[in-house]
Structure 1
Amino acid sequence: MRSYHVNSGAGVEGLSIREHEEPVPGPGQVLVAVRATSLSFRELMVLRGDYVLPVKPDVVPVSDGAGEVVAVGPGVSTARVGDRVTAPLFPSWQDGPFGVEHLPQLGGSLDGMLTELALVDEHALVPIPGHLTYAEAATLPCAAVTAWNALTGDGEGLRPGQTLVVQGSGGVSLFALQFAKALGARVIATTSSPAKAARLTELGADHVLDHRATPEWPGQVVELTGGRGANRVVDVAGLLERSLKAVTIAGHVACVGFLSDAVPPLDPRVLFASGATVRAVAVGSRAQFLAMNRLIEAHRLRPVIDRVFAFDDAPAAYRHYASGEAFGKVVIAVKGG
């Protein structure tokens, strides 16, 4: 079997591929033949050396993957050979609030999915929705679960008729758009590209705002919502002040991440004036993953895939993803993916 390896901060040039003996599943483990993996922003952070969680030396990178169970270890009772599966980024986080005991993560402190064969704990497995291909299923563990948590993880959840703002056309924003429409909500999207604006409209966005032409786009959101503001904003850029100006009184801002170190400070007066809840979202639990998959299956949703690269071309996949040109997920096909 072959696996990619990298050290934190080594860059794309640091990716190396090596041969290994096939692993044997131990008690409670299954062996998964990985069929496809997909890249998320965290993978770029690992290569840059600025990922916020620990990364072990010589790690097998990439948290997101999907494949087929090909062997089971002693005592395994919930998985069978032939099962089509994926796994959460935090394998031990089954349900409930996140805690330090769940910090071990695939492609970081644990070996990830950019490999032909992966050992996974049976209790971390998540069945793949039946209508999805391996390539499509490989896009779910990080970006999709993050989007689902952002929309539903506060205990109240996005409701039919409410308004959501999504920023840009990255993986989390596209999944949030698709999920919101399936939940019966109205979606306002922001972008700076006319071509991407057209794609966002095709996916169901009710309004698309050009944030480059109109930096003060929150005012447009307020106008489009009859002076109230959006019920929720999924903030992927770290521009919380703008998100707070776009959200309704006592609304919800899900802080998913930030795009650079040059993020402006947040004026606490803006926070108090909005009365909004700002919640940092760190992917989600296995229970949330399963709930998300039920919605995906019920509505026959399909992830947006920009391009699929061969396993031997993984460095090229990283470079394409880092270019910012992709619309949708960048996938690496492994075995039969």
Structure 2
Amino acid sequence: MRNFIGLTERPSLDNIAVTQGPVPVPGPGEVLVRVRATSLNYHDYLVVAGFIPQPAGRIPMSDGAGEIAALDPGVKGWRVGDRVMGAFFPDWVDGPPTDANNAAISGETVDGFAADHVVVPAHSLSAMPAGWSFAEAATLPCAGLTAWRALRVEGRLEAGATVLLPGSGGLSVFMLQIAKAIGIRTVMISSSDDKLARLKELGADHGINYRSLPDWAPAVRELTGGRGVDLALDIGGQSTFAHSVAACRMGGHLLVVGSTSNGAPELPLRDVVMRHIRIGGMAVGSVAHLADLVRFVEAHAIRPVIDRDFPLAELGAAFRHQLSGAHMGKITVSL
């Protein structure tokens, strides 16, 4: 038998419960993974809280790490016991995003990793970074990969560039770690002076408390010699979008990598047009991108910052901890 969480017809943080069922059997081209850890992302919260409707029984959670327990005889390149990570987009192996390769989303349109055994396509798997724990590896496929693709694939930033990073959650901390390894200068915004101090300990060059300085874009420009940043990453949506635009340099780049805001932002059209700001959006990345990231974190000895680990039975409590905003880095769940 396997332990797993299946969403109810009306899911909420109050009715998340572990149940039991038969261990699935891998079919052609598939692998059975004994999941050891998952980690929380805001997208996962939207699913488990019912804001992204799913059929009853859907297994949530887009991140997963564990070891291969069984595999279809036709699968090549993997063997029982290999330590692996799943993928947010299990069918996006390489190349640009398409309607076809982005249709399957782990924990949303297909079952995710809130189960101690899952069957996934063999092509969706990546090897864990050498020496990492399962909990550490479970932080990489969504937050870590989003940070990597934003900075290197879409942002194309090199040493000496400047970047604006929002908050102190798992995504922002990964962005900071990757940026510092590349040699990118960072400006972090947060609502907490204590968190800004911790971010500076991790290598942040500058920090701005947006609660004490609500109009923070001029401060960003001042910290960059009046120029503005080369790339601004935005997750606040309505509350931060116009500020992020104003913080960009002439010809700069604003990349939206998610949103924790309920409202749609208003586009400051004149600033965007007259200052030649490029605005784009992106979600996570491909299996090939994740393999590139694994090589990078191994080469630069980067390890994730984990705030707290919960058991699967306390997944609802884990999300409440995430919503409190008290965490720094990633929140993980062990199975």
- Which TM bucket (shorter chain)? over 0.9
> What is residue 42 of structure 2 aligned with on the other side?
41
> What is residue 146 of structure 1 aligned with on the other side?
146
The alpha-carbon deviation at position 219 of structure 1 amounts to: 0.8
> What is residue 240 of structure 1 aligned with on the other side?
241
AA paired with 1:135?
Answer: A
Aligned pairs, number: 331
Alignment of 1:4 with 2:19, yes or no, is no
Indicate conservation of the 8 Å contact 1:309/1:333, yes or no.
yes
2:265 and 2:312 map into 1 onto residues whose CA distance is 39
Alignment of 1:55 with 2:58, yes or no, is no
2:23 and 2:128 map into 1 onto residues whose CA distance is 24
> What is residue 200 of structure 2 aligned with on the other side?
201
> What is residue 117 of structure 2 aligned with on the other side?
117
Indicate conservation of the 8 Å contact 1:245/1:274, yes or no.
no
> What is residue 185 of structure 1 aligned with on the other side?
184
Indicate conservation of the 8 Å contact 1:34/1:68, yes or no.
yes
> What is residue 129 of structure 1 aligned with on the other side?
129
Matches within 5 A, 1:279-294: 279-294=280-295
The alpha-carbon deviation at position 14 of structure 1 amounts to: 2.5
The alpha-carbon deviation at position 47 of structure 1 amounts to: 2.4
Indicate conservation of the 8 Å contact 1:187/1:206, yes or no.
yes
> What is residue 296 of structure 2 aligned with on the other side?
295
Q: 3-state DSSP class of the match of 2:177?
A: helix
The alpha-carbon deviation at position 257 of structure 1 amounts to: 1.9
* Segment drifting more, 263-272 vs 197-206: 263-272
1:79 and 1:68 map into 2 onto residues whose CA distance is 10
Q: Where in structure 1 are there 5+ consecutive unaligned residues? A: none
> What is residue 214 of structure 1 aligned with on the other side?
213
2:9 and 2:285 map into 1 onto residues whose CA distance is 24
1:107 and 1:274 map into 2 onto residues whose CA distance is 39
Q: Where in structure 2 are there 5+ consecutive unaligned residues? A: none
Q: 3-state DSSP class of the match of 1:100?
A: coil
Residues 254-296 of structure 1 show CA distances to partners (whole Å, capped at 9, x for unaligned) of 1012222234411211211331211101111111111111111
> What is residue 173 of structure 2 aligned with on the other side?
174
The alpha-carbon deviation at position 220 of structure 1 amounts to: 1.1
2:225 and 2:10 map into 1 onto residues whose CA distance is 47
1:259 and 1:8 map into 2 onto residues whose CA distance is 24
Residues 52-76 of structure 1 show CA distances to partners (whole Å, capped at 9, x for unaligned) of xx63332111010100001111201
Q: CA RMSD in A?
A: 1.4
The alpha-carbon deviation at position 128 of structure 1 amounts to: 0.4
TM-score relative to the length of structure 2: 0.95
AA paired with 1:108?
Answer: E
The alpha-carbon deviation at position 305 of structure 1 amounts to: 0.4
Indicate conservation of the 8 Å contact 1:252/1:276, yes or no.
yes
The alpha-carbon deviation at position 322 of structure 1 amounts to: 2.0
1:46 and 1:274 map into 2 onto residues whose CA distance is 37
The alpha-carbon deviation at position 311 of structure 1 amounts to: 2.3
Indicate conservation of the 8 Å contact 2:59/2:115, yes or no.
yes
Indicate conservation of the 8 Å contact 2:42/2:260, yes or no.
no
Residues 108-164 of structure 1 show CA distances to partners (whole Å, capped at 9, x for unaligned) of 11111010101111111100000211000001111111111111222x611101111
Identical columns (%): 41
Flag the 1:40–1:9 CA change in 2: closer, same or farther, 3 A.
farther
Matches within 5 A, 1:245-256: 245-256=246-257
2:166 and 2:252 map into 1 onto residues whose CA distance is 17
> What is residue 321 of structure 2 aligned with on the other side?
320
1:83 and 1:314 map into 2 onto residues whose CA distance is 26
TM-score relative to the length of structure 1: 0.95
Indicate conservation of the 8 Å contact 1:8/1:48, yes or no.
no
The alpha-carbon deviation at position 8 of structure 1 amounts to: 6.8
Indicate conservation of the 8 Å contact 1:56/1:108, yes or no.
no
Residues 145-198 of structure 1 show CA distances to partners (whole Å, capped at 9, x for unaligned) of 1111111222x6111011111011122111111110011111110112111011
